[in-house]
Structure 1
Amino acid sequence: MPAFSLFLTSTIVATFLLAGIVKGVTGMGLPTLAMGLLGTVMPPVTAASLLIVPSFVTNVWQLFAGPSFASTLRRLWLMMAGIVIGTVAGSRLLASDNVKWTTAGLGAALIVHATYSLLARQPAVPARAERWSSAVVGFLTGLVTGGTGVFVVPAVPYIQALGLSRDDLIQALGLSFTVSTIALALGLASHGAFEVGHLAMSLLAVLPALLGMWLGQVLRQKINAATFRRWFLAFLILLGLELLLRPFVA
């Protein structure tokens, strides 16, 4: 990839600032929004590479801010194993030169996630089904992550369906996103798609992401977080439609 221009660097900084604000207000959304916005100006594989460091830093922060990392890992380790296996397997698509299908897939993943989050009723996972369903959901999440760089489908609705307390839920999401980030980095590296130049720009993106998270936490005290989340999801649907249709109308 050619050197990052001033315009592209400014776009990356602005994107991670906005994505950090969303995460600060809603507790999630940084990787999803960053992938969606960056996917409009660069191939998804490049966007995914830039996502690695800021996603890892912000999600580790979320993970270890929770009440019990050990118990969360014991409960969800099969899901995490599935995420790693699925992501490494699926990253072959993201690392390929088929930008048309990876861009369309990214758009489809954003639409599915946002539409489900807006319209679906919260399901519940029976305790007797949790063990095997965790592994299946983890593997499917990994395939989507590896193919599109989006971590949330179907992991987020599944974790929300486990009936966790608010603090445990936030920690479980942090665990899922952290493992997904590490697995994505491994998958891209295994296919030669993680370049040193991308790593340097990914490191640069950490500062605006953390600043955005702080601003989002301040903003959360002043606005209705539920309303903000609905508008954010509606925006994701529009962004997803643009990405989904772009390869076929360009």
Structure 2
Amino acid sequence: MNDFFTLLSPALFAFAFAVTLLGGFVKGAVGFAMPLVMISGMGILIEPELVVAGIILPILVSNGLQVARAGLGKARDAVSEHWRYITLVCVMIMISAQFLRSIPTDTMFVVLGVPVVVLCAVQLAGWRPRIGPAMRRPFEIGAGLLSGTLGGLAGTWGPPTVLYLLALNTPRDRQMAIQGVIYGLGSVMLFLGHLRSGVLNGQTLPLSMALLAPALLGMWLGFKLGDRFDQDRFRRVTLWVLVIAGVNLIRRGMMG
């Protein structure tokens, strides 16, 4: 336990626990944004590399549960249709993860903050890209490279994936199955990539393991309580809070 608190004081761990509980609740209630909540929230007080290490196992386990709920049959169909995108996301997560430790701390705050702000603002604006059949393959390649790079550096390949599927006019039920596969395989690559990069190590792994409990408890509460309030309003409020938190991360990076 003493070794554990060499990374975070008890007060900071309690803060990380509370942020993760909130992230799990949001994911359970409206089905998105746990990594964004954890990154933008924990990044207020905790160093970026430690934030990325902390989110890895909660992302891996929660996405595994999502894949299991979707069913293996739908998963196979998703892989056969979107194998290029899935492959690029997985490869780029592994590659970009290796560069995280070489990025200066101030720059890393910006790397974490910019995707949060941009991706949440896009969702708030309701922008839905449209891609015709002729441009599908170039778009698929470009989107896969971008999503995987963001995934390896900041753990956030979910929102770009949603935009990719919206651009292809994917039906909602099929979209959820595809997202489960991409999130599940991507989280495995994030885990492996940061084992290799050294971000997830003997010191940081216990933190990530400890944050599993609030993540899963939050998801359970979100499943139970999510239908008791206006989900669209809750979703928009969450996105606005994330925008503000993301701007604060950028401020920290710019001001040093």
Q: TM-score if structure 2 supplies the norm length?
A: 0.90
Measure, in 2, the Cα distance between the counterparts of 1:231 and 1:238. 11
2:126 is the counterpart of 1:126: no
8 Å contact from structure 2 (residues 92, 145) kept in 1: yes
- 1:71 is aligned to 77
Choose 100-109 or 84-93, whichever is displaced more: 84-93
Within-5 A mapping of 1:161-180: 161-180=167-186
Identify unmatched segments of 5+ residues in structure 2.
none
2:149 is the counterpart of 1:149: no
Q: Deviation string for 1:25-46 (max 9, x for gaps)?
A: 1111111111111222222221
Measure, in 2, the Cα distance between the counterparts of 1:204 and 1:54. 9
2:4 is the counterpart of 1:5: no
Choose 139-148 or 121-130, whichever is displaced more: 121-130
What is the letter of the counterpart of residue 48 of structure 1? Answer: V
- 1:60 is aligned to 64
Identify unmatched segments of 5+ residues in structure 1.
none
- Secondary structure of the structure 1 residue equivalent to 2:98: helix
Measure, in 2, the Cα distance between the counterparts of 1:218 and 1:120. 27
- 1:49 is aligned to 53
Measure, in 2, the Cα distance between the counterparts of 1:160 and 1:45. 31
What is the letter of the counterpart of residue 28 of structure 1? Answer: F
- Secondary structure of the structure 2 residue equivalent to 1:121: coil
What is the letter of the counterpart of residue 159 of structure 1? Answer: L
Q: CA shift at 1:88, angstroms?
A: 2.3
Measure, in 2, the Cα distance between the counterparts of 1:117 and 1:176. 19
Q: CA shift at 1:161, angstroms?
A: 2.7
- 1:158 is aligned to 164
Task: Report runs of 4+ in structure 1 exceeding 4 Å deviation.
Answer: none
Cα distance change, pair 153–166 in 1 and its aligned pair in 2 (3 A): closer
Choose 215-224 or 100-109, whichever is displaced more: 215-224
Measure, in 1, the Cα distance between the counterparts of 2:60 and 2:128. 28
Q: CA shift at 1:14, angstroms?
A: 0.9
- 1:230 is aligned to 236
- 1:40 is aligned to 44
- Secondary structure of the structure 2 residue equivalent to 1:197: coil
- 2:91 is aligned to 85
Measure, in 2, the Cα distance between the counterparts of 1:128 and 1:63. 31
Q: CA shift at 1:124, angstroms?
A: 3.0
Measure, in 2, the Cα distance between the counterparts of 1:124 and 1:220. 31
Identity %: 26
2:102 is the counterpart of 1:104: no
- 2:190 is aligned to 184
8 Å contact from structure 1 (residues 54, 206) kept in 2: yes
What is the letter of the counterpart of residue 18 of structure 1? Answer: L
- 2:214 is aligned to 208
Q: CA shift at 1:132, angstroms?
A: 4.0
CA RMSD between the two structures: 1.9
Measure, in 1, the Cα distance between the counterparts of 2:23 and 2:159. 18
Measure, in 1, the Cα distance between the counterparts of 2:81 and 2:202. 36
- Secondary structure of the structure 2 residue equivalent to 1:196: coil
What is the letter of the counterpart of residue 80 of structure 2? Answer: R
2:17 is the counterpart of 1:16: no
- Secondary structure of the structure 2 residue equivalent to 1:122: coil
Choose 86-95 or 72-81, whichever is displaced more: 86-95
